[in-house]
């Protein structure tokens, strides 16, 4: 695996080249530090909406079908995404088609039409997307948990916004948001796979060199406020055949030096089939099909969540089992065998996640976009191997705090049942 090369242009734009000479593909992506973390009460959801609008027509490709045909003609896989911290546009194709793939991706980012008629049509599409996630109990319980953890601020809002926000979005709001966020200092072009570095540098310079930034440095996301008070339990009443719930614990941002220890804690607790929660709840009790724990990290914040779907009649039993495992790991820590198994699994799955050109491009590109620095896979593996049982016990005691935990549940329950669930969580 060759070392990536970072080049900074005069206008502040960064180009990250990740060579993989033997790769049968090349991936090109444009990442911009524009996500829900940078939104306000007025324009919530605009980052995601703008991502959609960039596919509705550009200077070179006036219609959505023109974009699709150009990418399909070269057999490219292409898409885009919006998260709390960034928006990304990307395509992956055979090396000989790099120039054409780059031409489409760069035009999506640089020259979207943002036609008002298309805007009105797309509002309906996004509102249906919001409804789709609202109808999915696993998505709903997760979204409700984040609102419970952070309340009325960007970290607690849905990335997609609300139907009301989408309906009220105007073309001028897009123009102002692009002007503020889609700047050279905020943007990284990533190319990974088999390519000619000189050719790539020249093409990127031609496309992005004329961009002018109104900021010497990129505006940062507003400071996050931890919601120490407020409602601990959120109940969403739905007539479902299964109960879905999640528990959330305040964690750490992506920049923290302890991110590996906290992620390993989550892995041991519920991140694999041999994890404590999987073995206890699914294998021993036979009480859930899905049960897990994950460490979620962003530029400004992070949280650990434990989630499960279970039979209504076994909800109390599952909650009790989870609380017992949380207390056990806080009180007694973990064994060396548990840690070694989790380390081996983490390293194995991490390496598998870097197999393709797009995988590696995303790995490096998102680090550079969000943190402004990159860590090699070798360094990551080294950090994982250095974790001790004492490290895991320390972060468990610090972050798995039941008194500040937030709980969300979706199922056939009334909001008046809050006290019943509070007793379950304290048992």
Cα separations (Å) of 413 from 15, 327, 410? 52, 26, 8
* Pair 19, 214: CB distance under 8 Å: no
CATH architecture of the domain with residue range 233-426: 2-Layer Sandwich (3.30)
Give 64-105 as a DSSP string: HHHHHHHHHHTT-EEEEEE-SS-EEEEEEE-GGGHHHHHHHH
Q: Which are the contacts of 345, defined by CB distance < 8 A and separation ≥ 6? A: 267, 271, 272, 274
Residue 222, pLDDT score: 72
The β-bridge partners of 58 are 112
Q: Across 194-263, where does the E strand assignment appear?
A: 233-237, 243-250
Q: Which are the contacts of 288, defined by CB distance < 8 A and separation ≥ 6? A: 281, 282, 308, 309, 310, 314, 318
What does the alpha-carbon distance between residue 57 and residue 116 come to, in Å, rounded to a whole number? 12
On whether the 5-208 domain is CATH 2.70.50.60, my answer is no
Residue 215, pLDDT score: 57
Q: Where in the chain is the domain with CATH 3.30.830.10?
A: 5-208, 233-426
Q: How many CB atoms lie within 10 A of CB 82?
A: 22
Regions in the chain scoring below 50 on pLDDT: none
Q: Which are the contacts of 174, defined by CB distance < 8 A and separation ≥ 6? A: 46, 49, 50, 53, 114, 119
Residue 1, pLDDT score: 61
Q: Please report which helix (H) or strand (E) contains residue 364, including its range.
A: helix 357-371
3-class state of residue 98 by DSSP? helix
Per-residue model confidence as pLDDT tens digits over 147-194: 999 999 999 999 999 999 999 999 999 999 999 999 999 999 999 999
Residue 38, pLDDT score: 96
What does the alpha-carbon distance between residue 368 and residue 372 come to, in Å, rounded to a whole number? 4
* Pair 249, 397: CB distance under 8 Å: no
Nearest to 171 by CA among 254, 113, 110: 113
SS3 content of the chain, % helix, strand, coil (to 5): 50, 20, 30
């Amino acid at each position: 695996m060759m070392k990536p090369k970072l080049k900074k242009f005069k206008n502040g734009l960064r180009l990250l080249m990740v060579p993989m000479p033997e790769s049968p593909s090349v991936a090109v992506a444009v990442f911009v530090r524009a996500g829900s973390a940078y939104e306000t009460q007025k324009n919530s959801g605009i980052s995601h909406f703008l991502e959609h609008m960039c596919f509705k027509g550009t200077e070179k490709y006036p219609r959505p079908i023109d974009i699709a045909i150009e990418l399909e003609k070269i057999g490219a896989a292409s898409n885009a995404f919006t998260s709390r911290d960034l928006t990304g546009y990307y395509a992956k194709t055979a090396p000989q088609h790099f120039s054409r793939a780059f031409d489409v991706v760069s035009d999506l980012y640089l020259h979207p039409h943002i036609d008002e008629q298309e805007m009105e049509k797309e509002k309906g599409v996004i509102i249906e997307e919001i409804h789709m996630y609202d109808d999915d109990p696993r998505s709903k319980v997760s979204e409700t948990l984040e609102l419970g953890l952070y309340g009325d601020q960007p970290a607690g809002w849905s990335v997609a916004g609300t139907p009301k926000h989408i309906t009220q979005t105007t073309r001028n709001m897009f123009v102002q948001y692009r002007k503020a966020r889609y700047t050279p200092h905020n943007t990284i072009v990533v190319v990974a796979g088999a390519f000619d570095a000189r050719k790539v540098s020249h093409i990127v310079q031609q496309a992005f060199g004329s961009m002018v930034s109104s900021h010497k440095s990129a505006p940062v996301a507003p400071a996050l406020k931890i919601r120490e008070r407020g409602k601990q339990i959120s109940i969403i009443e739905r007539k479902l055949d299964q109960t879905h719930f999640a528990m959330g614990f305040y964690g750490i941002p992506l920049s923290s030096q302890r991110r590996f220890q906290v992620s390993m804690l989550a892995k041991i607790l519920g991140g694999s089939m041999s994890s404590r929660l999987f073995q206890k709840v699914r294998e021993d009790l036979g009480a859930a099909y899905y049960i897990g724990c994950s460490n979620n990290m962003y530029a400004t914040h992070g949280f650990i969540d434990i989630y499960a779907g279970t039979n209504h009649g076994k909800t109390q039993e599952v909650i009790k089992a989870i609380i017992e495992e949380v207390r056990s790991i806080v009180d007694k820590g973990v064994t060396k065998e548990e840690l070694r198994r989790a380390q081996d699994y983490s390293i194995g799955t991490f390496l598998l996640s870097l197999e393709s050109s797009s995988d590696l491009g995303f790995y490096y590109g998102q680090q550079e976009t969000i943190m402004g620095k990159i860590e090699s896979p070798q360094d990551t593996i080294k950090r994982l191997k250095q974790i001790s049982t004492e490290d895991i016990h320390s972060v468990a005691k610090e972050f798995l705090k039941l008194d500040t935990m937030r709980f969300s549940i979706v199922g056939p329950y009334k909001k008046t049942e809050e006290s019943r669930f509070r007793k379950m969580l304290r048992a």
